[in-house]
Amino acid sequence: MEDGEFERAPSHFTDRIGTGDWPLEAGRYRLVVSRACPWASRAVIVRRLLGLESALSMAVADPIQDSRSWRFTLDPGDRDPVLGIRYLGEAYAARDASYSGGISVPAIVDVPSGRLVTNDYPEITLNLELEWAPLHRPGAPSLYPEALRDEIDAVNEDVFRDVNNGVYMAGFATRQRAYSRVVARLFARLDALESRLSSQRYLVGDTITEADIRLWVTLVRFDVVYHGHFKCNRRKITEYPALWAYSRDLFQTPGFGDTVNFDHIARHYYEVHRNINPTGIVPIGPDLSLWLTPHGREELGGRPFGDGTPPGPVAEGEEVPSVAAAA
């Protein structure tokens, strides 16, 4: 933008599975993610909490992109074993050969045709929570309860503008005034969230909701990359008593920390964004073992999964490195 502010491009493919040309069928679709990406991490967490692993397979892209963007070099033969493609862009081209925009994750691909269905990251989790309900596991929590949707939507709007997207606006700002403006908004919002979470365990109601997932994916990356790499360095999350305890509480909740790969996160940001970090050097810190320290949030009450139950063990082949090794 003219004043030096970063502007996020809107999602181009916005279809919803379970409507229109895309019927809900277990095993038909594949979720493509990067564990580095916060927008994709939302979908990974929701899929796990709702027990959709057997209904919706998942492809994990290499955190290091090349000129063709997200690639499947973590898989044998550098191809996704289900879709048979080397780059996510091939699924975009199968959907629209004339498309010349960005290739983003999360993305859901129709396996039989190899065509992209959606890259609409704000709506993918809601789609999984609503239209995919017939395929949820027994005991799946209600992450977007109807009675709380207005409040959840309002919280999400503030968090997206000032926090989720705010860190990117700070990191990619090209003028001092633009950077200073968005950083001020970011930390004003974090201060407000610190106050809100000082007296309640979760953002909306007494259970985990979509609002918590959307905030947490930024908090878990904050001290690792956003504080230094994106110059969001007024305070670390570890310096906010409530936000830090809240972050650890969720990290230690099944479905959250067991989806996080800090190595992918750090290497992606520091190695890919050469306009910000020309050397590509990846910092060695912070101490990841602190994520496993007691948080004390149980004293605030709350029922993490409401009337539901925790998810089962992580699916075979989807495990992530444990931060316990850093202890």
Q: Which active-site residues does the annotation give?
A: 37, 168
Calculate the CA 259 to chain-centre distance: 10
Q: Is 70 labeled as ligand-binding?
A: yes
Cβ(211)–Cβ(156) below 8 Å? yes
Which of 7-10's residues contact partners 24+ apart within 8 Å by CB, and which partners?
A: 8/165, 8/168, 9/101, 9/102
Which residues, 6+ apart, have CB-to-CB distance to 44 below 8 Å? 31, 33, 35, 58, 106, 259
DSSP 158-186: HHIIIIITHHHHHHT--SHHHHHHHHHHH
Both tokens assigned to 100: 């010349």
- Candidates 148, 253, 262; CA nearest to 211 is 148
38-49 and 121-129 helices, crossing angle to 10°: 0
| Residue positions forming the annotated binding site | 70
| Residue positions forming the annotated binding site for glutathione | 70
